């Protein structure tokens, strides 16, 4: 195996079309470690900034990549584009704030219900 054969050049496109994190990665690199790097290198002048790795989703070939998988396991094709760069899309999706709990909703239903008895 020639040197550099299991490496791939990736860049990541964020919501406004800006490319970040342009670098070479090994096939054994995990998606979580790439996300950590992206969060650390995120441009601070953007209106949307991820706070943690869980806020970031990587999309390649129409699929959301899982944190626990490596690039090879995620089927990122190494060597298909000699000298080419693969672009992955980055979506920032902060966890939604928790709304009222089910218990509170059940209490409201109980308050609004009618308790009539026909004898």
pLDDT in tens, 58-106: 998 889 999 999 988 888 776 555 567 888 999 998 766 555 555 555 5
C-beta contacts of 40-47 below 8 A and 24+ residues apart = 43/18, 46/14, 46/16, 46/18
Domain ranges of the chain: 7-112
Reply yes or no on whether the pLDDT at 32 is more than 90.
yes
**Claim: this prediction has a pTM higher than 0.75:** no
Q: How far apart are CA 56 and CA 37, in angstroms?
A: 11
Q: How far apart are CA 52 and CA 45, in angstroms?
A: 17
Reply yes or no on whether the pLDDT at 2 is more than 50.
no
- The predicted pLDDT at position 87 comes to 87
What fold characterizes domain 7-112? Answer: Ubiquitin-like (UB roll) (3.10.20)
Mean pLDDT on 42-60: 89
CA dist 14 to 90, 93, 102, Å? 5, 12, 35
């Amino acid at each position: 195996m020639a040197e550099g054969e299991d490496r791939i050049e990736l860049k990541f496109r964020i919501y406004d079309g800006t490319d970040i994190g342009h670098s070479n990665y090994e096939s054994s690199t995990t998606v979580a470690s790439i996300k950590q790097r992206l969060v650390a290198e995120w441009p601070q002048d953007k209106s949307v900034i991820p706070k943690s790795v869980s806020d970031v989703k990587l999309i390649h070939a129409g699929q959301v990549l899982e944190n626990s998988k490596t690039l090879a396991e995620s089927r990122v094709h190494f060597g298909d584009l000699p000298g080419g760069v693969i672009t992955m899309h980055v979506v920032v999706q902060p966890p939604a704030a928790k709304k009222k709990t089910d218990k509170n909703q059940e209490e409201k239903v109980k308050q609004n219900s009618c308790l009539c008895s026909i004898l």
